[in-house]
Amino acid sequence: MGMTMTQKILAHAAGLESVKAGELIQAKLDIVMGNDITTAVAIPEFKKTGAKDVFDKEKVVIVLDHFTPNKDIKAAEQCKCSREFAFDKDIKNFFDVGEMGIEHALLPEKGIVVPGDVIIGADSHTCTYGALGAFSTGIGSTDMAIGMATGEAWFKVPSAIKFNIVGKMPKNVSGKDVILHIIGLIGVDGALYKSMEFVGEGIKEISMDGRFTIANMAIEAGAKNGIFPVDDLTIEYVKEHSNKDYKVFEADEDAEYEAEYTIDLSTLRPTVAFPHLPENTKTVDEAGDIKIDQVVIGSCTNGRFEDMKIAADILRGRHVAKGVRTIVIPATQQIYLDCIKAGYVEDIIKAGAIFSTPTCGPCLGGHMGILAKGERCVSTTNRNFVGRMGHVESEVYLASPAVAAASAITGKITDPDKLEVIE
């Protein structure tokens, strides 16, 4: 029996001819990553290993992005601990305020991750890099510590689900709608410890930013990883951003999948995940009259340049509804600069929204947009669990940048197709 993309990457990293689902392997790592929260926890565990240095100063990456700029004393201490460790170990890819961005947008932008890599990150959304044809998965801080010390990790080889993407993408439908539709279809445990492998002619309809969004939320279906094949668009992106060598792996024709789904893009509508699970999806046509207090456009899921453009195009010449706090957060400093050059920052601010420095802040209820009791937020983030963005009696509705921006204008969940045309 043949192997899937993920299985081929893992076999290569483990120095094996082949692997099969369920097999335990020890694989060499190309990147070990942590952020300000998880690195601070990993450092004491790293010291317990007795290692004097990290396995590779280029392959360990630390990004201070969750509670930065520091929201309180505890956050400042976590960052200080991470910063001192990075300086002491001479870690080359250390990103602090002024240079940092949201980690899962920053690493691809900096060319740190490329096709064929095996990447572990002490953050569940590390699966984002599967958009580049890499195996990337989230792990805990202890695994990060061992990875930093040894450059290796144990894995149980995942089985796979194939998603055959076909059709043309309709207007105002994006990668966020695709992955929300899929999670609504299979559930939050529908791909538990499996590889979600996206294939098919329809992939060419999905931009790189859209692919990053889809791979990012594979974890919301319980997946070990999400992965896309390497095509011309991938190669173009990698050549623009990186000078690293990369490896292209393709699934065998007789690769085994536990299940297969066909997703026809042409049938999709803008989709919203209602509280309190990403699987609780409805199309905007089914949403009803849901009034909102806040909109957040950003995060590792939807803080890329394409997302900023979509938001700016909708907000331009309009104004957010009275009483709706609208927070727009570019994922990296470069995206921030690109938005300034394109005029998007001005469009967004004139519309009555704010434009923030890169941070994960509101997504995990950290800072920069905490919800009070009874408040509702439409957010382009990835999770809407009870209390995720603040009070346990607040509500988070997950949506695309287009739906979020349109909702900011009207003050309720809104189909972007239904906004009045500005002449």
Residue appearing with tokens 């709608």: 177
Chain centroid to Cα 150, Å, comes to 27
Per-residue pLDDT reduced to its tens digit, 72-101: 999 999 999 999 999 999 999 999 999 889
Q: Which CATH architecture has domain 272-414?
A: 2-Layer Sandwich (3.30)
Residue 266 has pLDDT above 80, yes or no: yes
3-class secondary-structure state, position 235: helix
Chain centroid to Cα 354, Å, comes to 22
Query: 184-189 long-range CB contacts below 8 Å, 24 or more apart?
Result: 184/271, 184/273, 184/279, 184/280, 184/281, 185/261, 186/161, 186/221, 186/261, 187/221, 187/279, 188/220, 188/221, 188/222, 188/277, 188/278, 188/279, 189/221, 189/222
Give the model's confidence band at 365: pLDDT under 50 very low, under 70 low, under 90 confident, else very high.
Answer: confident
Give the model's confidence band at 261: pLDDT under 50 very low, under 70 low, under 90 confident, else very high.
Answer: very high
Question: Residues 110, 239, 169, 211: what is their CA dihedral angle, to the nearest 10 degrees?
Answer: -40
Q: What value does the mean pLDDT take over residues 163-167?
A: 97
Q: CB 361: neighbour CB atoms within 10 A? A: 27
List the beta bridge partners of residue 273: 281, 398
What pLDDT shows up at residue 423? Answer: 52
Residue in 196, 345, 214, 344 with CA at minimum distance from that of residue 278: 214
5-263: in CATH 2.40.110.10: no
What pLDDT shows up at residue 366? Answer: 87
Per-residue pLDDT reduced to its tens digit, 181-226: 999 999 999 999 999 999 999 999 999 999 999 999 999 999 999 9
* Average pLDDT of the chain, as a whole number: 95
Measured between alpha carbons, how far is residue 48 from residues 45, 52, 347, 369 in Å? 5, 10, 51, 37
Q: Could you tell me the two tokens for 351? A: 């519309």
Per-residue pLDDT reduced to its tens digit, 273-319: 999 999 999 999 999 899 999 999 999 999 999 999 999 999 999 99
Q: Residue 241 carries which side chain, given as an amino acid letter? A: H
Q: Which residues of 94-110 are buried (b: 16+ CB within 10 A; e: fewer)?
A: bbbeeebbbbbbbbbbb
Residue in 254, 268, 95 with CA at minimum distance from that of residue 170: 268
What pLDDT shows up at residue 420? Answer: 75
Residue 23 has pLDDT above 80, yes or no: yes
Q: What percent of the chain has pLDDT over 70?
A: 99
List the beta bridge partners of residue 283: 271
Give the model's confidence band at 68: pLDDT under 50 very low, under 70 low, under 90 confident, else very high.
Answer: confident
User: Is-contact 277 180, C-beta < 8 A?
Assistant: no
**Positions of CATH 3.30.499.10 in the chain:** 5-263, 272-414
What pLDDT shows up at residue 421? Answer: 65
What pLDDT shows up at residue 422? Answer: 62
Strand pairing category for 354-355 and 376-379: unpaired
What pLDDT shows up at residue 84? Answer: 96
Residue in 211, 224, 137 with CA at minimum distance from that of residue 179: 211
Which pTM value belongs to this model? Answer: 0.95
Residue 337 has pLDDT above 70, yes or no: yes
Q: What percent of the chain has pLDDT over 90?
A: 94
Q: How far is residue 347's CA from residue 357's CA, in Å, rounded to a whole number?
A: 16
Q: How far is residue 217's CA from residue 220's CA, in Å, rounded to a whole number?
A: 5
